[in-house]
C-alpha cells in the first residue's frame, strides 16, 4: 500500500482540523492569560505586554491563534447543526457543510489578519 496515494475526503480533513484547532486554542488560552496578567499587573507590565505585541512573530502567532479559534467555532457550529438535525446526515450534506466551514474560516482568517496588522 502506497500511503502517498491515500486521499482523505473533505469531511475527514474537517474533522482532523477541528481537533487540531481545539488543541491550539487550548494551548493559546494559557499564553493569552499570561499576557493579560502581565498587562494588568502594572503600568510597566502593560508597556512590556504592548512591546511584546509589536513584534511581527507575535502578531503572526496571534493571527494563527485567531484562525484556529475561528475554525474551531465554525466546525463546532457545523457539528451542532448536524446534531440538531438542521443539516441532513448524508455524504453530500457532510461534504458541503465541511466546505462551507473551511471557506468561512478562510474569510475570518483574512479579517483577523487585517485586524491584527
DSSP string, 73-112: HHHHHHHHHHHTTSS--SHHHHHHHHHHHHHHHHHHHHHH
What contacts 24+ positions apart, CB below 8 Å, involve 27-30? 28/65, 28/68, 28/69
pLDDT value at 89 more than 90: no
* pLDDT average, residue stretch 27-33: 96
pLDDT at 36: 97
**Residue 1 pLDDT more than 70?**
no
pLDDT band at 101 (very low <50, low <70, confident <90, very high): very high
pLDDT, the chain, mean: 94
> Are 23 and 68 contacting, i.e. CB atoms less than 8 angstroms apart?
no
Q: Return the pLDDT at 70.
A: 97
Amino acid at each position: 500500500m502506497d500511503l502517498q496515494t491515500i486521499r482523505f475526503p473533505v469531511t475527514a480533513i474537517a474533522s482532523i482540523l477541528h481537533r487540531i484547532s481545539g488543541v491550539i486554542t487550548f494551548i493559546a488560552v494559557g499564553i493569552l492569560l499570561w499576557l493579560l496578567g502581565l498587562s494588568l499587573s502594572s503600568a510597566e507590565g502593560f508597556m512590556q505586554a504592548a512591546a511584546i505585541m509589536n513584534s511581527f512573530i507575535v502578531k503572526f502567532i496571534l493571527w494563527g491563534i485567531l484562525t484556529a479559534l475561528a475554525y474551531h467555532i465554525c466546525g463546532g457550529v457545523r457539528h451542532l447543526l448536524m446534531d440538531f438535525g438542521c443539516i441532513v446526515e448524508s455524504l453530500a450534506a457532510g461534504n458541503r457543510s465541511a466546505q462551507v466551514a473551511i471557506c468561512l474560516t478562510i474569510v475570518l482568517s483574512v479579517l483577523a489578519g487585517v485586524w491584527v496588522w
